[in-house]
Amino acid sequence: MIKAAIMGYGTVGSGVYEVIRTNQKEIDKKVGQELQIKYVLDLREFPGDPVMEVLTHDFEDIINDDEVRIVAEVMGGLHPAYEFTRRCLEAGKSVCTSNKELVAEHGAELIQIAKDHQVNYLFEASVGGGIPIIRPLNSSLTADVILEISGILNGTTNYMLTKMADEGLDYADVLKEAQAKGYAELHPEADVEGWDACRKIAILTSLASGNQVDFGQIYTEGITKITKEDFLYAKKMKCAIKLLASSKKVGDTYCAMVSPVLISRDNPLYMVNDVFNAVKVEGNMLGASMFYGSGAGKLPTASAVAGDMVDAARHLGKIITLFWSPEKLTLAPMEESSKRFFVRMKSAEAAKACFGDVELWDAGVQGEIGAVTPVMSEAEFAKKARDAQIISMIRVED
Ligand code: HSE
C-alpha cells in the first residue's frame, strides 16, 4: 500500500479526494497496489463530509509521517505552498500540483530539489486543467524542436468571450456570470488581466526551451477593454475574439505574449468555446498538433492531479526526467514580432493616412470605421499609432 496526502480541500483538493475514492479500484490496478489517502490538510472543518476521517489541520502530521510518499499540493498561491512543497520534497515525498503560480515562479528549482532527493515534482494540472499537455511536451514530443505553442489557456475568459459573442452581452455582465459559476479565480484580475494565461505560457515555454522563463518578461494584455462593439466587427469579419497565449521560436529563443486576438474560421482555435481550452503545438518534424479539453473546473483539474499521483506511485525511487533547467531564457522582444492589427478609428481617411493600405470594415457602429492594417512589427505599429486617434486595437492572428 502507498500512502498519500492532499494539502488543501478547496475546489481542486476535494476533487482529487473524489476522483481517488470514486476510481479507487481502477487506480489501484494501475498503480499495482492500493493508493490510500492518509491525510487531507485544511484549516477548516467539514462536518458530515467523509473527509473528516482523514482531515488534519497540522502540516507537521504529513511531513513527519514516513509512510506518506506522495503529496498533492492543491492549496494554490505561493505561500505557504512553496515552503510546504520544498519540505515535502526534501523529506523524500513526491509532490503533484495544480499550482501554476508556484510552478511558473519556482518550477526549475523544485524540479531540482525533487531530483536531489530521488522523488518527483509533477504538475500536469497546472496548464490546461484536465488536458494532457505537460506530459506530451515532456515525453512524446522530445524528438522535435518546438516552433510554436499557442493556445487558449484560460477557461474563465474563454467562457466570457464566448458569452459576449453569442449573446451580445457587456463585459461586466459576463464577468458576474463567470464568477457565479465559480470559474473565475479568487481575484478575477488573474483571469481577466491575462496573468493566469501568462503563467501557463511561461510554463509551456520553459518546457519547450528547457530553460526557466521569467513570466514577468512576457507582454500580457487581458480582455478588460473588449467591448460589445468589438464583437460587431468580429462577426462582420467572420472572426472570433480569443485571449491567445503564444510562444514562437525566434533563433535560439522564443517570443511569448498574451493578448486578445481576432482569429478566422480557418484557425482550429476558432471553435474552442466556453470554458474549454486548447493548445496548438507545432514541431519542426511533427507539424501541427492540437490538444483540446476541459481547461478548468473541479474534476478535470483533479483528474490531472490524481493522474500525476498514479505516475508518482509507479515511479517511487525513480526520477521522471523533466527538461527544465534553472538557467534563465531571455525572451525575444515582442516589439520585433510582426502581424496585422485591427483598429477602430473615426474615419476611413484617418485610418488610411495612418496605416496606408488598410482593409476597411463597417459594422454599423456610428461615427467610426474598422480597419485591418498590413503586416507590420509591433514597434512600427506603436510608432504609427502614437498620434492617431484609435478607439481600440485588437491583434489579428493569421
Ligand atoms: N481560473 C483558471 C481558468 C482555472 O479559468 O482557466 C484553471 O487554471
Residue 187 scores a pLDDT above 80: no
Domain 2-129+298-328: which topology? Rossmann fold (3.40.50)
For ligand 1, the distance from its centroid to the CA atom of residue 369, given in whole angstroms, is 35
Question: Ligand 1: does its nearest atom lie under 6 Å from the Cβ of 154?
Answer: yes
- Active site (annotated) includes residue 200: yes
Q: Can you tell me which residue has the cell 504529513?
A: 62
Residue nearest to atom 4 of ligand 1 (CA): 296
Residue with cell 530539489: 113
Grid cell for residue 185: 479565480
Distance CA 43, CA 248 (A): 43
Same topology between domain 134-294 and domain 334-397: no
Pocket test for ligand 1, best of 161, 195, 196 (most atoms within 8 A of CB): 196
List the catalytic residue out of 200, 249, 280, 384.
200
What digits encode the pLDDT tens for the residues 225-251?
Answer: 999 999 999 999 999 999 999 999 999
Note the pLDDT tens digit of each residue in 202-227: 999 999 999 999 999 999 999 999 99
Whether residue 151 has its Cβ less than 6 Å from ligand 1: no
State whether the beta carbon of 101 lies less than 6 angstroms from ligand 1. Answer: no
**pLDDT value, residue 387:** 84
Mean pLDDT score, 152-156: 95
> Over 70: is that where the pLDDT of 185 sits?
no
pLDDT of residue 293: 97
CB 129 less than 6 A from any atom of ligand 1: yes
3-class secondary structure per residue, 247-298 = EEEECCEEEEEEEEEEEECCCHHHHCCCCEEEEEEEECCCEEEEEEEECCCH
How far apart CA 339 and CA 59 sit, in angstroms, is 50
Task: Specify the amino acid at residue 15.
Answer: G
pLDDT tens per residue, range 377-389:
999 999 999 989 9
Q: SS3 for 328?
A: strand
pLDDT band of residue 180 (cuts 50, 70, 90) is confident
For residue 281, pLDDT over 80 is answered with: yes
- Give the residue ranges of DSSP H helices in the chain: 11-22, 24-31, 59-63, 81-90, 100-116, 134-135, 155-167, 171-180, 189-192, 195-209, 228-236, 298-314, 348-355, 378-385
pTM above 0.95, yes or no: yes
- The pLDDT tens digits of the residues spanning 45-61 come to 999 999 999 999 999 99
Domain boundaries, the chain: 2-129+298-328, 134-294, 334-397
Ligand 1 neighbour 300 (Cβ under 6 A): no
pLDDT band at 177 (very low <50, low <70, confident <90, very high): confident
Indicate if ligand 1 lies below 6 Å from the C-beta of 193. Answer: no
Side-chain-side CA neighbours of 54 within 13 Å: the count stands at 20
The CATH code that applies to domain 334-397 is 3.30.70
Q: What is the pLDDT of residue 211?
A: 97
- 295 CB less than 6 Å from ligand 1? yes
State the Cα torsion 35-41-45-48 to the nearest 10°. Answer: 0
- Beta-strand relationship, 68-73 and 94-97: parallel
Residue with cell 486578445: 260
* Window from 165-174, 184-193, 303-312 with minimum mean pLDDT: 184-193
Distance CA 234, CA 263 (A): 9
Show Cβ contacts of residue 176 under 8 Å, excluding neighbours closer than 6 positions.
none
**Helix or strand run (H / E) with residue 119:** none
Contact 372, 395 (CB under 8 A): no
Segment 309-367, tens digit of pLDDT: 999 999 999 999 999 999 999 999 999 999 999 999 999 999 999 999 999 999 999 99
Specify the residue with its C-alpha closest to ligand 1, atom 8: 296
Which atom of ligand 1 lies closest to the CA of 159? 5
CA of 258 to the centre of ligand 1 (A): 15
Q: What CATH number should be reported for the domain whose range is 134-294? A: 3.30.360.10
The pLDDT score that the predictor gives to residue 23 is 98
| Residue with CA closest to ligand 1 atom 7 | 296
How does the average pLDDT of the chain come out, rounded?
96
Q: Could you check whether the bond before residue 80 is cis, i.e. omega within 30 degrees of 0? A: yes
Side-chain-facing half-sphere of 77: CA atoms under 13 Å: 10
Please give the pLDDT value at position 186. Answer: 58
Q: Determine the Cα angle at 30 with ends 113 and 82, to 5°.
A: 25
With H, G, I as helix, E, B as strand and everything else as coil, classify residue 343: strand
Q: Residue 251 class from Cβ within 10 Å (0-12 exposed, 13-18 middle, 19+ buried)?
A: exposed
- In this prediction, residue 184 has a pLDDT band, given cuts at 50, 70 and 90, of low
